[in-house]
């Protein structure tokens, strides 16, 4: 867990929510009152974000204590209690909504990811996320994918050279784009992998004739063409399928023998898992 990255994002989110004060709590009861809360699960799925919630409440008030009952990555059902909180009531309520928002979002992603990963567990294909994430929430959303059993693709534009159709067209073709990428890595002393997206078998052959490429992505290939492409690559480099793959076609693509399958839907169109933070009264 990238705690330092979490903290900067959490602090900004808390400032956005609290502003010049939690006036609802301030008017309802005096400061200094101690309270207890519980995280109640209301929908079946996979839990994600407990560690994030812990950091939220730690930053709100170090006096808050958390007792974790269910760990991240666990399967959950309605009625389960994920954790208990105890501390100053004002502080508990200041962190309540942010912790819930992040946990619901992350648990929704983890749940969807686990369901899809389970369907292709009989193959060697690994399910990847993409950069189709919510701005400023990528670190949380990509971690949720991992809790769901998926894998992270590149985090951003800086940790992989990924030559897509537009890069290739602007560079003048696949061989030119690859050579420019190799020259750029050498010039800047970069040790990052190169992946090339191909649109047809001509471009695939050009990748295979080049050196220095870690992975080739079959962009919007049909299932039949993906079988042919995997056979043509013959394990010379890593292979990835992407573009228009849905829950209905995922298994068929995985069974082609491709190494990776990337799906933007893991993060860009997910509903949050239903849960709530409730006060525990004596």
Tens digits of residue pLDDT in 51-69: 999 999 999 999 999 999 9
pLDDT at 282 over 60: no
Q: Can you read off the two tokens belonging to residue 144?
A: 């949720």
From CA 117, how far away is CA 111, in angstroms rounded?
A: 10
Give yes or no: 219 in active site.
yes
What are residue 68's DSSP bridge partners?
83
Helix (H) or strand (E) holding 146: helix 138-147
From CA 128, how far away is CA 151, in angstroms rounded?
A: 5
Q: Can you read off the two tokens belonging to residue 102?
A: 């992040």
Give yes or no: 80 in active site.
no
Question: What is the sign, positive or negative, of the torsion defined by CA atoms of 155, 255, 258, 201?
Answer: negative
Rg of the chain, C-alpha, whole Å? 23
Distances (CA, A) of 155 to 128, 129, 191: 11, 9, 15
CB atoms under 10 Å from CB of 91, counted, come to: 21
Considering the candidates 164, 180, 228, 232, report the single residue annotated as catalytic.
Answer: 164
Considering the candidates 129, 219, 240, 259, report the single residue annotated as catalytic.
Answer: 219
pLDDT-derived band of residue 2, with 50, 70 and 90 as boundaries? low
pLDDT mean across residues, the chain: 96
Give yes or no: 105 in active site.
no
Give yes or no: 164 in active site.
yes
| Stated pTM of the model | 0.95
pLDDT at 263 over 60: yes
Q: Can you read off the two tokens belonging to residue 233?
A: 């690559």
pLDDT at 176: 98
Phi and psi at 35, nearest 5°, equal -145, 170
Considering the candidates 132, 154, 199, 228, report the single residue annotated as catalytic.
Answer: 132
| Helix pair angle (50-60, 3-18), 10° resolution | 60
Q: DSSP string covering 50-81, please?
A: HHHHHHHHHHH-TT-EEEESS-TT-EE-TT-E
Q: Are 14 and 94 in contact (CB under 8 A)?
A: yes
Residue 44 CB contacts under 8 Å (≥ 6 apart), including other chains: 75, 76, 77, 78
By CB atoms closer than 10 A (0-12, 13-18, 19+), residue 232 is middle
Tens digits of residue pLDDT in 221-258: 999 999 999 999 999 999 999 998 999 999 999 999 99
Give yes or no: 132 in active site.
yes
The candidate with the shortest Cα–Cα distance to 110, out of 84, 83, 76, is: 76
Tens digits of residue pLDDT in 146-199: 999 999 999 999 999 999 999 999 999 999 999 999 999 999 999 999 999 999
Residue 234 CB contacts under 8 Å (≥ 6 apart), including other chains: none
Considering the candidates 97, 131, 199, 228, report the single residue annotated as catalytic.
Answer: 97
What are residue 261's DSSP bridge partners?
127, 241
């Amino acid at each position: 867990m990238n705690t330092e990255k979490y903290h900067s994002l959490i602090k900004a989110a808390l400032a956005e929510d609290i502003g010049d004060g939690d006036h609802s709590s301030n008017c309802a009861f005096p400061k200094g009152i101690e309270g207890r809360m519980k995280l109640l699960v209301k929908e079946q799925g996979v839990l994600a974000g407990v560690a994030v919630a812990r950091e939220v409440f730690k930053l709100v008030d170090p006096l808050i204590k958390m007792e974790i009952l269910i760990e991240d990555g666990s399967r959950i059902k309605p009625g389960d209690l994920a954790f208990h909180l105890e501390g100053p009531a004002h502080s508990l309520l200041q962190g309540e909504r942010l912790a819930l928002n992040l946990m619901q979002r992350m648990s929704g992603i983890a749940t969807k990811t686990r369901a899809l990963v389970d369907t292709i567990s009989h193959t060697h294909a690994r399910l990847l996320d993409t950069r189709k994430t919510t701005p400023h929430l990528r670190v949380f959303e990509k971690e949720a994918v991992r809790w769901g059993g998926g894998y992270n693709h590149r985090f951003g534009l800086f940790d992989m050279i990924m030559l897509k159709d537009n890069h290739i067209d602007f560079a003048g073709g696949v061989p030119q784009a690859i050579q420019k990428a190799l020259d750029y890595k050498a010039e800047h002393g970069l040790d990052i992998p190169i992946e090339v997206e191909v649109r047809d078998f001509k471009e695939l052959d050009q990748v295979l004739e080049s050196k220095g490429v870690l992975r080739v992505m079959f962009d919007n290939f049909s299932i039949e063409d993906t079988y042919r492409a995997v056979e043509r690559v013959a394990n010379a480099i890593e292979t990835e399928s992407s573009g228009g793959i849905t829950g209905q076609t995922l298994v068929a693509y995985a069974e082609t023998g491709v190494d990776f399958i990337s799906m933007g839907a893991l993060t860009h169109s997910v509903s949050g898992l239903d849960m709530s933070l409730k006060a525990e009264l004596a």
